[in-house]
Each structure stands twice: as C-alpha cells, then as structure tokens.
C-alpha cells in the first residue's frame, strides 16, 4: 500500500495548488456543465462494451508504454466504436505517468465519452474534472469513507458527471449501493498486493443473483485478455469491461483491436 500513500500525499499538494485557483476554476466550470449521463448512455444493453484505457505505466508493471502517443491512441480507439464505448484516461503522474492535459488531447481526437481515472478524494478534484471536460470520474470505495463517497458522488452528479465507483469486495459493494451508485466497477486486482484474481468477479455475480440489481451497470476491471473470459462473464450478466494493460503493452494496437473485434463478431457479442 506504500504507493497509495505516496500518491495520496502528492494529491494533497496538488489539491492545495488547485484550491488557489478555485475562483477561476468555478467560473470556467460554468460553461463545462453538461447533462448527466454521457458515459453511461453509451453503454449499450445486449452487447459487449469495452472501456479502452490510455495508460503509460502502473505500480504493478512500471513503464508499460513509455512512448505512448495519446492522440494517436485515442484516434485508433475511435475507429473501433463497434465495441469500444468509452475511453479511460489515467491522469495520475507519479506512478501512472498520466497528465490531466491528456483528457483534452483525447477529446480532440474522438467523440467517445471520457472517464478520468485518478485518485479522487476532494471536491476540488471533481470541479477540476468538469473543467477538463471529462464525462465520468472514478471514485475508489476503499479510499473513501461512506459520507465522503456519497458527498463526492452527489457533487459529481450535480455537475453532469457520471461516476464509476470501484469496489473490491462485497462489503464495499453494499456501501456504494447505499450511496446510490448505479455504475460499479469490480476490480479483480487487490490494491494491497497488486495481484490479479480473475475469479474475483464471480463472487460478485453469485452475490448479485440474490439481489435485485438489474438497474445497475457492472464493469469488470483488470486481468481481461481474451474473448473467452468476456463471453463467459457476458453470459453471467456483465457486459462492460475496462481494458488497459492488454491494449497498452502490445506492439500493434490496431491489430489487437481488429482481432478482438473479429472474435467478438464471430461470437455474436457485438
């Protein structure tokens, strides 16, 4: 967990700097508020929806693609709207080599909705995300208490942002459901050990079968590399998948996407 402590410490300093410009940001934000639902509206029922990620590095892998061209990658993703429903952009600089400016770079090359993926735990970061022209933000349940999670979730909604709330266990799921979450990411990666267990999401599927959650959109995160896994989860009711490292670590992104598109078409999943 040391990397998270370092990131959160750095974020606190970022927030102080952002706070000094809060008056400018709020005035700028007024023209950025949009009707809520741009991201969620693009997740179509009855088919596979991939949220394709732009990520240069990670705590578990180190540098994944140090020469990543953000704009070219966004343009490539944009050409595969048959199964890509949104783009996730890492903006955390310390361990993920992200940059908030990457969102506008992506925006200039695609009409797909954009998720800002970062460690968000302050209201000022939510305002900042609106100014960046993100359509959706990530909130990580394990890093937020129940009251703060609900406060940030409701603030984001009032600003026209969708919210992907990430959970890692059933206890967190119950907490985010109490907060009103409707777009929920199930992360197969344990943030403490950084290990991926692709079976994690199946425990959520078993739990979900005993509750009425048909109005919620669940996203499988981490460890997704083949269409067989996607097909199996789709049959269990999961139709949205966030894929980062698999796309980012390949030598030919377009070829990888073309291959996935073909396999999904053969399986009649798109």
Active site residues: 53, 55, 117, 166, 187, 221-222
Instruction: Calculate the CA dihedral of residues 187, 190, 195, 199 and round it to 10 degrees.
Output: -50
Q: How far apart are CA 40 and CA 38, in angstroms?
A: 6
The span from the CA of 139 to the CA of 184, in Å, is 10
Q: Taken in order 255, 260, 266, 270, is the CA torsion positive or negative? A: negative
Q: Rounded to an integer, what distance in angstroms lies between the CA atom of residue 57 and that of residue 93? A: 9
Radius of gyration from C-alpha coordinates of the chain: 18
> Between the CA of residue 132 and those of 40, 54, 109, what are the distances in Å?
18, 16, 15
Token digits of residue 248: 């980012």
Can you read off the two tokens belonging to residue 122?
């302050």
Cα separation, 104 vs 112, whole angstroms? 12
Q: How far is CA 151 from CA 123, 139, 145, 148, 188, in A?
A: 8, 11, 10, 5, 26
The b/e string for 33-47 (b: 16+ C-beta within 10 A; e otherwise) is eeebebbbebbeeee
């Amino acid at each position: 967990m040391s990397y998270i402590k370092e990131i959160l410490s750095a974020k606190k300093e970022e927030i102080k700097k952002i706070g000094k410009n809060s008056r400018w940001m709020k005035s700028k934000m007024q023209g950025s508020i949009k009707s809520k639902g741009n991201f969620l509206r693009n997740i179509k029922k009855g088919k596979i929806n991939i949220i394709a990620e732009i990520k240069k590095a990670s705590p578990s892998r180190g540098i994944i693609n140090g020469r990543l061209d953000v704009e070219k990658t966004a343009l490539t993703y944009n050409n595969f709207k048959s199964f890509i429903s949104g783009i996730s952009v890492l903006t955390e600089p310390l361990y993920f080599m992200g940059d908030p400016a990457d969102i506008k770079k992506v925006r200039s090359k695609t009409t797909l909705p954009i998720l800002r993926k970062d460690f968000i735990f302050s209201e000022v970061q939510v305002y900042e995300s609106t100014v960046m022209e993100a359509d959706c933000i990530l909130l990580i349940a394990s890093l937020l208490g129940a009251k703060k999670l609900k406060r940030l979730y409701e603030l984001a909604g009032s600003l026209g942002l969708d919210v992907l709330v990430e959970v890692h266990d059933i206890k967190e799921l119950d907490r985010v459901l109490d907060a009103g979450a409707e777009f929920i990411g199930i992360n197969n990666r344990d943030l403490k050990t950084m290990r991926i267990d692709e079976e994690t999401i199946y425990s959520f599927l078993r739990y979900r079968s005993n509750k009425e959650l048909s109005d919620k959109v669940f996203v499988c995160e981490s460890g997704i590399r083949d269409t067989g896994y996607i097909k199996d989860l789709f049959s269990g009711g999961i139709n949205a998948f966030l894929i980062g490292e698999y796309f980012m670590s390949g030598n030919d992104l377009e070829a990888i996407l073309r291959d996935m598109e073909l396999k999904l078409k053969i399986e009649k999943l798109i």
